[in-house]
Structure formats: structure tokens, C-alpha cells
Structure 1
Amino acid sequence: MSRLRASGVSTGIPNTGPASAQRVTDKLLATQGYVVGVEISGGGARQSVALANLDGEILHQIRRPLEYLPDRNTALEHLKVMLSEVTGSALDGRLLRVGIAVGGLVDARRGLVRTLHRAHGWDHFPLQDYFTEQVEVPCIIDNNANAAALAECIYGVGRGERVVLYVGLGRGIGGALVVDGKVYHGVSCTAGEIGHMLVVQEGGPRCSCGGFGHLEAVASAQAIVNRLIGRSVNYPETEAAIRRITDGRAERITAAQVFQLAAEGDELARQGVEEVCTYLGIALANIVHLVNPSMIILGGSVAQAGDLLIGPLRERLQRLCLPAAFQDLRIVQGSLGTDANLVGAVTLALQDL
């Protein structure tokens, strides 16, 4: 099973698989050349660029997160420098396509970024045309969860599955539905925005989009960590456990470490995990009854908790779902790990228009 590594070590991706989104017809029809994958996070501060050959093998990769949230122009200038560095190693061949995975609302059909909830200046920005002009080759853009789902279904744990729900549990929460190897975008390309499902009817916390009680506001990595740190102020034992597991850097605790503390018996962490499974279970149970998937793939940093998340979530879904809807359902951790978005961007670039 292939995966790209954050270190930039070259690894192969199989060159077989079904087509992806609705605008895609088949594999990229070429025998020589290169493609580029670009990842832009929801705040624009985390950016990655990878050069790959037509087998999906990573030849050069750069990941340079910024320590601040940049405006759009600053982020784009930063990406231009990274693109120049990456494509400079492809002078002996042809750059054929650029795939871009964006952590926000994207109109994939028109190549527009509708908005990034954690950054300014991106509303209705024609990112596809911008990059096409910059690199003078065709570009494909899509939401990062759609791109990651596509990669998992073609090259990862979702291969061979007919109906797959992908849930990216990171700083935000994104989702994607893949049916018969194709990403379902919906009428306005907002299908799969599971993070903005209402799960707390009244008095819920504020979401990045401005709404209240959305799944992202209670079950994202940021929400999990902030909730535990905030509650631990009045619980010295939990504060000490956080310092222990983070080597004294409490602000760097990860969602996966919160799950670890819960497994070790910390009561506050256990309560937090219970809340995550409750609200995530509500959202997923509703989707299971609506689309009847054969597999739910959990990706993103929260999914790094592995069975500490999947086990209790599976039990909750079994209680919430009709037996006929649950009996053939598998809930798994994504096989592409934290590189799934960038793998997805490369996968987008390897599709033919």
C-alpha cells in the first residue's frame, strides 16, 4: 500500500484506478512528463508542494508552514516561490498538470475558492485560472477532503469500495462522498461539508463559519484540545498529565494525546472523548441512514488516535443505526495519514480533463 511521506522520500503510487470527479473522464493521457500537487490549508498558513512523475512517485517536496495567517497575496507569493523551487528540478521533462487541494469551500467546476473560513481575501477567488496563468499548464482544484477521499479510494484503504464516506478530522472537519470512484460534489459543490452539520441545537460553541453548534466546533482537533486545556485549569491532576505527555509544552498537546490520556484514565480527557464520539456519532449515523456507505474512512490528525477513536465510535454507531444500515459498514483509519491532502492534490493532477 503506497503513501507519500512528509519527509519527501520518494514512494510510488500505483497507476491504476477509476476516474475521480464529475469533470474527469480518465487517467492523464501521457507517457512522459510531470505533475505538481499543491496543498493550501484552511488558514493559508500551511502550504505544501510536491513534484511527481506520472506514476505518482514524489521526486521533490516542500512543506513550509508560516507562523502567521497570511493574507491571500502573501500566501500566493509564498506558493510561487515554492512552485519555482519544485519545478526547477523538472527541466528535463514536461510539466503537464497541477492539482490543488484547498482547505475551504471550493467550486470545483468553475475553479473558484468560495471562501476560507480562517483566512481573508479568498472569497470567490479564481484560483484555478490564477495558477494556470502562473505555470502555463492546466490546473484542477478541489476541496482538500474531496482530494483526500479520492486518493484513499484510488490508492488507499478505500480501493474497491462502491460507496465511501471520508471524514477529515483536523483543525477543521471536512467530508467527501465517493460513489463508484467519483466524488459527489452536489449542485453547488458543497456536498460533504459534514463539519457544518448541526449537532448541538441550542447553546453550542461558535464554528469557524460563524454558526453555532456545528460538528467542527465540538469535534475538530482544535476543539478537542482547547476544551481539555480550558477545563484543566481547575483540575491539577489533569494539568500535570498534560505537562507530562507534552514534555512541559501544554500548548502543543494533540488531539491524539487527549485520547491517550483518556485511555490512561484521566477523567476530564475521558469526558472530552465521550463528547466527541457522541456528536460525531450523531452526524455519522444520519449520513449512514441517508447514503448507506460500505465504508467510513477517518482521516486527519484526530484519526491518528486510531482504535481509541474508532472503537467507541463503532459501538455508538451500532447503537444509533438500523441493523440493516450498519451490518455491512466498516469504519477504518485512512492509510495515507497526514499526507492524504497532498496525495490527493497529486491524484487530482494525474486525472485527465
Structure 2
Amino acid sequence: MENRLNVGITHGDVNGISYELIIKLLAENRICELCVPILYGSPKVAAYYRKVLNIENFSLNTIREPGEANGKRSNIINCVDDNVKVDLGKETPESDQATMVALKYALDQLDRDEIDVLTLAPQGPNAFFTEEAGSLVEYLGKRYNTTDIMSILVSEKIKMGFVTEQVKLRDVPHQVTQKNIFKKLTLLDDTLRQDFTILKPKIAVLGLNPQVNCGQNGDEEVNVIIPAIERAREEGIMAIGPFSAERFFSERMYEKFDAVLAMYYDQGVVAFKSVDEESAACYIAGLPVICSMSLTDPHYDIVGQNLGDEQGLRNALYLAMDVCVHREQNIELQKNPLPHYDIATNSNESDLNVEQIEGVRAELED
């Protein structure tokens, strides 16, 4: 198969289930039919886990750079110290360091277009503290010098972005501002168009307070969220809300929308996983490169027991590949745009936006 993507995979935490998931995933013949997988990690650690898990008929082709990759096999670039210590079931400073070394190495090659996309295996929660960052999003924002960045949870049934992410609950109201909401709506709308080829995305916006949609909007809804939504509409973004999170998910309103913007991470992630965790993965929006990650935890409690489920890592790998294809398609479309025709007499895009918003509202009220 020609023109397969070079897909980088970082090894995550060497003390968690990452290597088990990676080995199980790369053992599937179809993976090498779809892409050229390149693992950033340690051949020594990979061999150790293969022995611990008693996995036969699997090997990795050791290379020095992506240009040497064997298109018919899974490849590995040794980018950590051969003496890296594996301490099963424990996150340690050494395992966090090995996580970040592999991630930096892979990102450097991604920046140089030596690989096309990057997928991250499960990492320890403290790994990014070594880089004075509290999360992957914060770390990547610093690396690429941007604040217009957001993790988007993606599944077959729902996509979800966040105004605030890894922050303490008491700090959420201070960060839920008109400016931040508008920026996140703009980023989410752009990402849905460019990376998911959704021509006119419909975005639902959740409220901050639980009484939204009960005739008792709180101060944040009235003074912050609603004005931000109205500003977004003026820019042609089809944003609707704010909705009470409880009602929005219990009544399955998300089925009427292309994406949801939650005010903070915990508000949305539990509901997201209850809707569709099986096909879920995370995409990092707002970057010049394509980066995805599994939503699976390192699961230190089951390391070495052959109980890990690689589906989440598979989802993340497929997600990154899909986004890459969509971006390439959009670049081609922009080179050869179709002529624009006004499909509604005496109407403009703002008029159509208003009509479509009212149509969605009518569907929700039925």
C-alpha cells in the first residue's frame, strides 16, 4: 500500500500498562497495512514486557531514524537510556523522565515532518511536572508558544471541548470569562471544519451552574456565557446554549450537535465517558502538528497481568490518521475552491445561521 502515513507512538510510562497495549496493538497485522508504525521507546523494555506477558511471534525492527523504517513491520527508535529501570506498577521519577525523553524525541521528529502524526500511550499523572507543566495541553502550549490550544474528546457519538482543563474547581469561575469562552468556541469551530471536515458545525455550550434552562440562569450565564455565545454567532459560529449539563445529557440533546463545549473538565468528561467510552480518544487542537492520546490510564494495579485493553490506544491512532487525511483534503480543496453560490435569495450567512439555530432549538423542544 503506497503513501502510508508514518505514525509515531510514544511509549508512555514504562511502569504502567503502556508497553502491553502497544505490543497488543502492533501485533495486529492490519496496523502495518494501514500505516508505518514507529515506536519511540526502549527495545530492552519492550523485550522485557513481551517476556513478562508471554507474548509470542512478535518483534520490533530497531531503527535509528524514520527514514529507515520497514514498511512491513513495526519499528522502534531507541531514545531512552538502556539502563532505564522498570519498577512494575509504580510511577517513579525515573519512569516520568523516560516518558518525557521519548515524547520530546518524537515531537522533534514530528516538527521536522519525519513522521506524519503522533499518538501518546498512557503516561503517569506527574510526568509533566518535570517540565513545570500540569498536563499535556499545558506542556504543548508552552512548547509551541500558544494559548489557543485545547484537548477535544472524540468518539463516534460525541465530541467535547473545554473552556478550562486541569485547574482546581475553585479557580474555574475566574477562568470562565467572555474572552476565554469566545476563544474556545472559535478554536472548536475551526477544528471541526479543518480537522473533521464538518462544514457548518453546530456547537452546544453548557452552563456553569446546574439551574440553567430552569428559568434561573446564574450570574455567569447572564453576564459571561450568553454574551460570549452572542459574539460567536456574530462571527458566524453556530453556538447554542447555555444548557444545563444534567438535562443536556439525560435527554440526549448531544445527538443534535456536532460538538459540546463544557465549562470545565470534570463537568464534561464523566458524561462523555458514559455516552461512549469504547470508541473514545483525545485530540489536541490548535497545534501545527497532529497529536492524539489514549484516554486509558496507566493502570499500575494490573501491570504484568495481561489484562490491558488496547482499544483506547487503537482509537487514538486511528483518530490521528483521520485528522491527517482530513487536513490534506482541506488543503486540496482550498487550492481548487468551488464557486460560491447564494442558495437563499436575499440572504447572507448570518441569516442562514440564525435560521439554522432556530431550527435546532425547535428540534430540542419537540
Q: What TM-score results when the alignment is normalised by the length of structure 1?
A: 0.29
Structure of greater Rg: 2
Query: Could you say which structure has the higher strand fraction?
Result: 1
Query: Could you say which structure has the higher helix fraction?
Result: 2
Q: What TM-score results when the alignment is normalised by the length of structure 2?
A: 0.29
